[in-house]
Structure 1
Amino acid sequence: MNEADEREIRRTLASYTGLWVRHEMDAWGELFTEDSDFITHRGIWWTSRQENVAGHKDVPGSVLDQKENYSQEVVSIQGVTPEVALVHTAWDWPGHRLPGAETPEDRRGLITLVLVRQPTGAWLIRAAHNTRKNGLHDFAATDG
């Protein structure tokens, strides 16, 4: 993985986060391949860009109002081949309140992404798996 590729991937993921926070889901969806897979933190598996975008558009207004508190940072970028990258990000959403919940909660998690270089040189997301950290496990445990 050369520095230019890493910069482009970081730029793509910065766009991903900004578009998600602003809930610009059609533009966010353009960062994914048409045949992309997305597994949500709840275990829902969408198998196309269209399903992914539609699923992410279906959000209660009270949750949309909280998106400004969401942040995400790239933790690692690894080249698998010159055209494929494995990326991990960590996200944080403090004060998240589900509709009807009495108290907010601080949410955190990890996303594993597979990005593929397009003929144009752009990197698009082919697969993403979002895992919510529930506070019961520190990701460093050795119990398998």
Structure 2
Amino acid sequence: MTRSVPTLSLLSFLFLVSTGCAHMDHAQDEMEIRQLVAAQTEAWNKGDAAAWTKDFTPDSEFINIVGSVFEGREQIEQRHAAIFATLFKGSQDKVTVRKIVFPEPNIAVVDAVHEVTGHSGLPPGVQNTESGLLRTQMKYVMKKTDGQWQILAGHNTDVKPAR
């Protein structure tokens, strides 16, 4: 019985070290993901659809705030070029990453809040959350391939105004 106590202590120590190392690995991943989101935000604020979509995989899927589905980076870029030239021309986006979860070492689910101001209008059925402010919830599924995080899927939902 006394031999199992040191064994349990060693196993507990190894578990704590391994989970601590896993967290450290994710700290680097979180930093990389936050940088990707920051670069995407900068691209939005410049109205640059190519830069905004550069981290989507070629076969990615994106669902926008009105529920339209866009398949593939090219289609996602075309749609964003259209909105950057019309309703969201000159708009500014402020993004706050709320949460990043790693269900697998190379998979991340990213939950972010977007606050868009300076838009000239909104798509049918979408309202400002507050006067002059469109707030949305963005959910991304990302995958790290060859050392780079890429967006596999995105889903953006507008936050309705308080009643």
Match of 2:135 in 1: 108
Provide the C-alpha distance between the structure 2 equivalents of 1:129 and 1:58, rounded to a whole number of angstroms: 18
Q: Which portions of structure 1, spanning 4 or more consecutive aligned residues, are displaced by more than 6 angstroms?
A: none
Provide the C-alpha distance between the structure 2 equivalents of 1:61 and 1:37, rounded to a whole number of angstroms: 22
Match of 1:142 in 2: none
Match of 2:153 in 1: 127
Provide the C-alpha distance between the structure 1 equivalents of 2:27 and 2:156, rounded to a whole number of angstroms: 26
- Deviation readout 1:32-51 (Å, 9 max, x if unpaired): 10011100001110011010
| Structure showing the higher strand proportion among its residues | 1
Seen in structure 2, the aligned counterparts of structure 1 residues 80 and 32 have a Cα distance that, compared at 3 Å, is: same
Match of 2:58 in 1: 34
| Structure showing the higher helix proportion among its residues | 2
**Percent of aligned pairs with the same amino acid:** 27
- Deviation readout 1:7-28 (Å, 9 max, x if unpaired): 1111111111111111111122
Q: How does 1:5-16 map to 2 (within 5 A)?
A: 5-16=29-40
Match of 2:106 in 1: 83
TM-score, normalised by the number of residues in structure 2: 0.73
| C-alpha contact 2:87 2:119 (8 A) present in aligned 1 | no
Q: Aligned partner of 1:63: which letter?
A: F
Match of 2:42 in 1: 18
- SS of 1:134's partner is coil
Shift of 1:96: 3.5
Asked if 1:52 is matched to 2:79, the reply is: no
- The aligned length equals 131
Segments of 5+ residues of structure 1 without an aligned counterpart are 138-144
| C-alpha contact 2:89 2:119 (8 A) present in aligned 1 | no
1:64 aligned to which of 89, 96, 101: 89
Provide the C-alpha distance between the structure 1 equivalents of 2:154 and 2:53, rounded to a whole number of angstroms: 12
| C-alpha contact 1:97 1:105 (8 A) present in aligned 2 | no
Match of 1:140 in 2: none
| C-alpha contact 2:136 2:156 (8 A) present in aligned 1 | yes
